Structure 1
């Protein structure tokens, strides 16, 4: 009997899963690189400026490529891009970088992984979207996992610093959730790649302007060479490249499956934190991580 050829969807599934997995792992490496850079006496303002300085040409090229032959942006479009760039990439990134100075990369990734629950809550507040009991259960499980890891870190080190870093990173997740909720209309109007390219370019310019306002321009010349190379790696491998990978994965397997595949992110961050940074790994961290991942899995399944 002749074999039946695989459908086009099947042929796209494998590459899509690979892209989504590699994108999640690359994204998760950002926290590791930031923690490594902090070992060389650099602050968050300078570090995020360097990351965005090197990422700006990549995102500007992305915006240009996606906008070829498309209508010019209206004034309303530009206002939306500016607002989304401020919330989703400038403020969220700065708060994340600042928080990483106080907490481990593992806790940071678990907090940011709560983003879908925040998007749902904002959707309920703004658009009165229904929340199911399954989603509430998933949220409860995930937040219990984060609290478990937070409690372990707070008792093992400086409680105030852990609390402050956790608050900063949670606010980063909130800021990015605002971007996710507000971007729906503009994604339809501009397309995802064009919107991401423009919004991230805006964020890059804001981070550079922040540095010029708060730090002497010449101070960047005294940054350790390791910080510069780490920032280049962060801007390319852990920022621009995974953005493209995830968008290409969504085109092939859809946002739901891409999100499920992204569950590899927290695990890879924890693994790299232990191997590269020498961060501790205990039963408490393992239990908290499993709770967060299980909760998000229940949450996403209940939302279908």
Structure 2
């Protein structure tokens, strides 16, 4: 095996694992702070504030790397694809992230990752309905298997409990649906612009939207300064989300796709839910019983089946998750 392939596998695994830590870090930020000047109880930290921290720390890197990647393009895209990528970033990295961070107020990090992990199913369904894709009987089987696993979790699992678990679950499923739309629209732009320039442009579009949303929201309340008067640990977690669950993995996955292809990278991304489960148990003390394990295994098997037959039939494909 070539050393470049080994490097690609390593980057894909690390990138997927880092992305999957995002939900755990968000849940940590929502926990009450003890002994701080500003005490945050559950739900008192607004999702848009945490998103603003994430993008405030990460967007300078995306602007700089985007500028570097743009200069290296031999065939630079016209103005229109750049505007479209900027607009798609608002859908994929602003609206989806806002729904995701909001959903995490109500459900466990493990359930969020499992529900979000089903987004390729929406890629198949929407692609078949509107983008000329074809759905096979194996795709149908994969869909049924994946959601059977989720059904098992809701029927008797410990990670799908709580007064607002249905609200949170609906928000995350809708996030998966919108992210599938984002991927289907993004495919052509990625081919035109390259994944590096596209990612940086889309992230910049999301950052502008998030920071504008935060500024308007804070100005209507106690003001921007008061909204950012946060415990140091929350600011630290916001920075960790930016660097370890946004910037670093987004480029690791891009490099992995370049070295080993999007399909192999997508297969290796299946480590994501396992990473979330381990981190959520250790850092958050979330429960994880045998019913949860069974449901998770069934869902991952469904997505694995989809990925296997996708590689053989090459329908409209899903690229690795980057919310």
Is it true that 1:207 corresponds to 2:210 in the alignment?
A: yes
**Helix, strand or coil for the counterpart of 2:228?**
helix
Could you list the per-position Cα deviations for residues 192-215 of structure 1 after superposition, in whole angstroms to 9, with x for gaps in the alignment?
Answer: 110000100110111111111112
Match of 1:268 in 2: 275
Is it true that 1:127 corresponds to 2:131 in the alignment?
A: yes
Select which of 31, 36, 46 maps to 2:23.
Answer: 31
Is it true that 1:189 corresponds to 2:192 in the alignment?
A: yes
Question: When you count helix as a share of all residues, which structure comes out higher?
Answer: 1
In 2 relative to 1, CA 141–37 (structure 1 residues): closer, same or farther, beyond 3 Å? same
Match of 2:165 in 1: 162
**Helix, strand or coil for the counterpart of 1:131?**
coil
Shift of 1:232: 0.5
When structure 1 is superposed on structure 2, of 212-221 and 26-35 the one drifting more is 212-221
Select which of 6, 12, 15 maps to 2:7.
Answer: 15
Match of 2:175 in 1: 172
Shift of 1:83: 2.4
Q: Which runs of 5+ in 2 are unaligned?
A: 33-39, 313-323
Could you list the per-position Cα deviations for residues 130-179 of structure 1 after superposition, in whole angstroms to 9, with x for gaps in the alignment?
Answer: 111111111111111122223446897434x1000001111111111111
The answer to whether the Cα contact below 8 Å between 2:157 and 2:291 also exists between their aligned partners in 1 is no
Matches within 5 A, 1:1-304: 10-40=2-32, 41=40, 42-70=45-73, 74-152=78-156, 157-159=161-163, 161-215=164-218, 216-303=223-310, 304=312
**Helix, strand or coil for the counterpart of 1:20?**
helix
In 2 relative to 1, CA 182–295 (structure 1 residues): closer, same or farther, beyond 3 Å? same
| CA–CA separation in structure 1 for the residues paired with 2:30 and 2:178 | 23
The answer to whether the Cα contact below 8 Å between 1:107 and 1:150 also exists between their aligned partners in 2 is no
Q: CA RMSD in A?
A: 1.7
| CA–CA separation in structure 1 for the residues paired with 2:141 and 2:4 | 33
In 2 relative to 1, CA 77–26 (structure 1 residues): closer, same or farther, beyond 3 Å? same
**Helix, strand or coil for the counterpart of 1:103?**
coil
The answer to whether the Cα contact below 8 Å between 2:24 and 2:280 also exists between their aligned partners in 1 is yes
The answer to whether the Cα contact below 8 Å between 1:154 and 1:162 also exists between their aligned partners in 2 is no
When structure 1 is superposed on structure 2, of 66-75 and 48-57 the one drifting more is 66-75
Shift of 1:74: 3.3
When structure 1 is superposed on structure 2, of 150-159 and 291-300 the one drifting more is 150-159
| CA–CA separation in structure 1 for the residues paired with 2:97 and 2:17 | 18
| CA–CA separation in structure 2 for the residues paired with 1:145 and 1:292 | 5
| CA–CA separation in structure 2 for the residues paired with 1:73 and 1:280 | 49
In 2 relative to 1, CA 142–174 (structure 1 residues): closer, same or farther, beyond 3 Å? same
Q: Which runs of 5+ in 1 are unaligned?
A: 1-5
The answer to whether the Cα contact below 8 Å between 2:109 and 2:280 also exists between their aligned partners in 1 is yes
| CA–CA separation in structure 2 for the residues paired with 1:294 and 1:72 | 41
The answer to whether the Cα contact below 8 Å between 2:153 and 2:159 also exists between their aligned partners in 1 is no
Matched residues, number = 295
The answer to whether the Cα contact below 8 Å between 1:85 and 1:199 also exists between their aligned partners in 2 is yes
The answer to whether the Cα contact below 8 Å between 2:8 and 2:259 also exists between their aligned partners in 1 is yes
**Helix, strand or coil for the counterpart of 1:12?**
helix
Q: What's the TM-score once normalised by structure 2's chain length?
A: 0.87
